Structure 1
Amino acid sequence: MRWPTVLLGLLAVALAQDSSTESSESGTTTDGTVVSVTTPVAIPSGTYQEFSTTITLSDGDESVIASTTHYNGTRTASNQTAVTTTSDSLTLLVGGGGTTVIGNNSMNATATATGTATNTPVVNTRPCNNYPEFCTRKYSNITMVAAHNSPFVRKNSVAANQELDVTTQLNDGVRTLQFQTHYVNGTIYLCHTTCQLLNAGTLEEYLIDVNKWMRRNPYDVVTFIIGNFDYVSPENFTTPIYNSGLKDLIYTPTKVPMALNDWPTLSEMILKQKRAVFFMDYQANQTAHPWLMDQFSQVWETPFSPTDPAFPCTQQRPPGLSEADAKDRMYMANHNLNLQLNLGSLSMLIPNTALLDETNAVNGSGSLGEMAQECNKTWGRPPNFLLVDYYNYGDFNGSVFEVAAQMNNVTYDRNCCGKTSGALREVSVGGMSTVLLVAVGVQMLMSAF
């Protein structure tokens, strides 16, 4: 296939930031040894935050935090001092009959009638995030399916990562929404790499749809992982988040940073109606906005933008994290397989849709299930977030949710997924989907006019 010179020029401008370059960043093995991790794609170069002490917060944005440092490069360990706090006593969700239950993370709680305890175990029947078993579990003790670049839904677009809109994603069981943002003329937009390539609208518009869904589903906790691509200040995010209607649902942590055992149960978050959890990868300022949490102080990640179908469960971001610290915070497994697409001198990463049936499968080489099992074995607990492209594809409908259910030791019995077109299943030529190649050409040529 011959590519017109004008098309190559347009591709070079619009996709330059997706170019794949050799880049290395320090990481650690599971024995705590600091190593150099080399990947085929440039890793974001924002600064990472480190808290020399654990700060106890009060509710709201009035809390003041000190002792925060920022760093680039390698660090060998963090010096975190635990602070003992007590949490509010809450009634757990059981649903029906007016029965209340008092307990502490155990499904074998004790039922009470007019304040008198009985010896009859009560089994919760009200689902929290689709499962009654989750109500008494800590937020940090649940594996969730995360939609990689959730807003980027566009037919035949090489920059798309999902096929179904965010409302359908949530209906199907996705409970973590990850996305990339860009700051354009004073507004936060949802754009993939550049807004010329794929612009999914404003952050506020996207979150309005999520807010509508959350109001209709009061027993669900939803997590947002914001990619601050342009490294702008967090004040640019507060207005669209507040204007979306989510302000009163925002969860504010009790400490900075939050270790595994610091997180509340889902029932606590739901009963308080503080069930919208926000993380931002770079430039978070929890001194000013404790609720907009610095991701890497609480959640580490496996290799970024993976092209290796083996999906090694090694810790990459933040760099230089010790084994002890990694085991005391949540982690996200990046399981969105990318394809290296080379067009002359151009090089970019696109979702490897040809292997979705294998990548999102429960079993087999390179599968989500195999990776989750390996992570569980390596780190002593499964990932908290399974970040996937096109979650509605797999070896069967709902395979990614089956993997999460296995990690959570629950039974997946829901219907999945929203309407699909089957358009991703294309014959590849020379390792590249002809539909994707045509989509690139058509999309970029149209953007020139």
Structure 2
Amino acid sequence: MLPAVLLTTLAGMLVPWQVQGVPYAVAKRASICNGDASLCSRRFSNVTFVGTHDSYAVSSSSIAANQEQPVAQQLADGVRMLQAQAHKSPNATSGSGIDLCHTDCQLFNGGSLEAWLGSVKTFVDANPNEVVTLLLVNSDGLPASTFAKAYQSTGLDANSWQPSGGESAIARNAWPTLGSMIDSRKTVVSFLASGADVSSVPYLLPEFSSIWENPYNQLTVPFNCSVDRIGVGQAASNLMYLINHFKDLSAFGSSTIVYPDKGNLSTTNSEQSILSDANNCAATSPGASGNYPTFILLDFYDTPSQAPFKAAAQMNGIQYKPAANASKSEGGSSKGSGSSGSSSSSSSAESRLARTAGALSVAALTAALLL
């Protein structure tokens, strides 16, 4: 039998005052997760995150660029998944010897992996209630231990979530909630597209054991949402999925040499286009099983301003809220809050159920403590 505990309510949380005259401390639980209280009880796999394709490839003029805002601003605007291509550095300027390059470091070098991870570390330390996902394409087949050097030198390994059982494949329904990740201060989830070794670096997870992707480098719309890349032996319906929602143009008539279609960004990145793509995937792709994507990768996410974040909020069944430190568009409006979105087309009902369950849990806890 638990001792009697006096309780009070502070910001919606039960806070014990004392146990038989002795101060009694309880770990504070997250009340806001990725910008909304209802997301705290949502599994990581059942939240849709706005992501940036080639997040490091930042330029307003280079044909090899995919973004115009630096990573720090992407995160401030609400982007919660960052994708990057990792290559062996031609100059070995960092401890890991990894640079982030677009296809080839001579074409576009976005700097060291350490600098990129450092921006993430700064953000998550300043925003402990935000869960951020990193996806690294291991272009040169480097060992996971080499990536770990960069995580360790920036201190991001301390923020990195890892499965408690050391498993490499995580089913969609086996992911923890955002609230539990935030409570444990493990708010960075990292995937390697290839070369992961969870026995030596348990926080660098093999992407295609937990995620499937639709085709990329698509030249026409509507986008194809078929299962294009997935781990051997994995069932798509058992995994999260990522949609590559960016339209390319062909160079020299090639289907492999492509560049972003910047002229149609206002259409491609519009709220309507993103919702249409996500709804199509949820409804027609056997791998989606009626669920919205967990990740949506975009080129030049900030054109048009706010649209991707509004779309994600709708998928999540929550109210859209502009990010507090978002950049401003030319018209003066702030860009959107980022990690909103759910991965179920019945997310509004799920959100109501989650809130009800949360209230019941508080009531049950109160009753138990007062026995």
Shorter chain as denominator, the TM-score bin is 0.7 to 0.9
Q: Distance in 2 between matches of 1:140 and 1:167?
A: 24
Query: Does residue 312 of structure 2 align to residue 398 of structure 1?
Result: no
Query: Does residue 38 of structure 2 align to residue 133 of structure 1?
Result: yes
| Equivalent residue number for residue 221 of structure 2 | 309
Q: Distance in 1 between matches of 2:199 and 2:157?
A: 18
| Equivalent residue number for residue 297 of structure 1 | 209
Mapping for residues 234-313 of structure 1, pairs under 5 Å: 234-254=144-164, 255-313=167-225
Instruction: Classify 1:113/1:146 alpha carbon distance in 2 versus 1 (closer, same or farther; 3 Å).
Output: same
| DSSP-derived class of the 1:162 partner | coil
| Equivalent residue number for residue 327 of structure 2 | 418
Instruction: Classify 1:201/1:266 alpha carbon distance in 2 versus 1 (closer, same or farther; 3 Å).
Output: same
Deviation at 1:369, TM superposition (A): 1.5
How many residues align? The count is 302
Q: Distance in 1 between matches of 2:199 and 2:232?
A: 24
Deviation at 1:163, TM superposition (A): 0.8
Query: Does residue 86 of structure 2 align to residue 175 of structure 1?
Result: no
Which of the numbers 376, 388, 393 marks the counterpart of 2:282? Answer: 376
Deviation at 1:228, TM superposition (A): 0.6
Q: Distance in 2 between matches of 1:209 and 1:152?
A: 14
| Equivalent residue number for residue 154 of structure 1 | 59
Q: Distance in 2 between matches of 1:347 and 1:142?
A: 32
Answer yes or no: is the 8 Å Cα contact 2:208–2:231 preserved in 1: no
Q: Distance in 2 between matches of 1:321 and 1:310?
A: 29
Q: Distance in 2 between matches of 1:315 and 1:296?
A: 11
Aligned CA RMSD, in angstroms, stands at 2.5
Deviation at 1:403, TM superposition (A): 1.1
Which of the numbers 269, 277, 280 marks the counterpart of 1:360? Answer: 269
Instruction: Classify 1:167/1:373 alpha carbon distance in 2 versus 1 (closer, same or farther; 3 Å).
Output: same
| Equivalent residue number for residue 349 of structure 1 | 258
- Alignment identity in percent? 35
Q: Distance in 2 between matches of 1:217 and 1:417?
A: 14
Higher-Rg structure is: 1
| DSSP-derived class of the 1:342 partner | coil
Answer yes or no: is the 8 Å Cα contact 1:136–1:267 preserved in 2: yes
| DSSP-derived class of the 1:304 partner | coil
Instruction: Classify 1:326/1:393 alpha carbon distance in 2 versus 1 (closer, same or farther; 3 Å).
Output: same
| DSSP-derived class of the 2:265 partner | helix
Query: Does residue 55 of structure 2 align to residue 145 of structure 1?
Result: no
| Equivalent residue number for residue 205 of structure 1 | 115
For each residue in 1:33-84, what CA deviation from the matched residue of structure 2 results, as whole angstroms up to 9, or x when unmatched?
xxxxxxxxxxxxxxxxxxxxxxxxxxxxxxxxxxxxxxxxxxxxxxxxxxxx
Deviation at 1:139, TM superposition (A): 0.5
| Equivalent residue number for residue 16 of structure 1 | none
Deviation at 1:264, TM superposition (A): 0.6
Which of the numbers 220, 239, 243 marks the counterpart of 1:333? Answer: 243
Q: Distance in 2 between matches of 1:244 and 1:419?
A: 29
Deviation at 1:239, TM superposition (A): 0.3
Q: Distance in 1 between matches of 2:87 and 2:193?
A: 13
Aligned residue identity for 2:269? N
For each residue in 1:391-415, what CA deviation from the matched residue of structure 2 results, as whole angstroms up to 9, or x when unmatched?
1013xx2111111111111111315
Q: Distance in 2 between matches of 1:403 and 1:273?
A: 28
| Equivalent residue number for residue 99 of structure 1 | 13
Deviation at 1:125, TM superposition (A): 8.9
Which of the numbers 380, 401, 407 marks the counterpart of 2:315? Answer: 407
Answer yes or no: is the 8 Å Cα contact 2:78–2:326 preserved in 1: no
Q: Distance in 2 between matches of 1:235 and 1:125?
A: 32
Instruction: Classify 1:389/1:288 alpha carbon distance in 2 versus 1 (closer, same or farther; 3 Å).
Output: same
Deviation at 1:197, TM superposition (A): 1.2
Q: Distance in 2 between matches of 1:326 and 1:347?
A: 26
Deviation at 1:286, TM superposition (A): 1.6
Deviation at 1:272, TM superposition (A): 0.6
Q: Distance in 2 between matches of 1:233 and 1:140?
A: 27
Deviation at 1:282, TM superposition (A): 0.8
Q: Distance in 2 between matches of 1:243 and 1:420?
A: 35
Q: Distance in 2 between matches of 1:182 and 1:347?
A: 19
For each residue in 1:162-213, what CA deviation from the matched residue of structure 2 results, as whole angstroms up to 9, or x when unmatched?
1111111111111111011111255100111111111111000111111111
Answer yes or no: is the 8 Å Cα contact 2:30–2:179 preserved in 1: no
Residue segments in structure 2 that go unaligned for 5+ positions in a row: 1-8, 20-28, 332-371
TM-score, normalising length from structure 2? 0.76
Answer yes or no: is the 8 Å Cα contact 1:142–1:384 preserved in 2: yes
| DSSP-derived class of the 1:225 partner | strand
Q: Distance in 2 between matches of 1:417 and 1:341?
A: 34
Q: Distance in 1 between matches of 2:47 and 2:262?
A: 28
| DSSP-derived class of the 2:230 partner | coil
Flag the structure with higher strand content: 1
Aligned residue identity for 2:41? T
Q: Distance in 2 between matches of 1:337 and 1:347?
A: 13
Instruction: Classify 1:137/1:113 alpha carbon distance in 2 versus 1 (closer, same or farther; 3 Å).
Output: farther
Q: Distance in 1 between matches of 2:39 and 2:245?
A: 24
Answer yes or no: is the 8 Å Cα contact 2:88–2:99 preserved in 1: yes
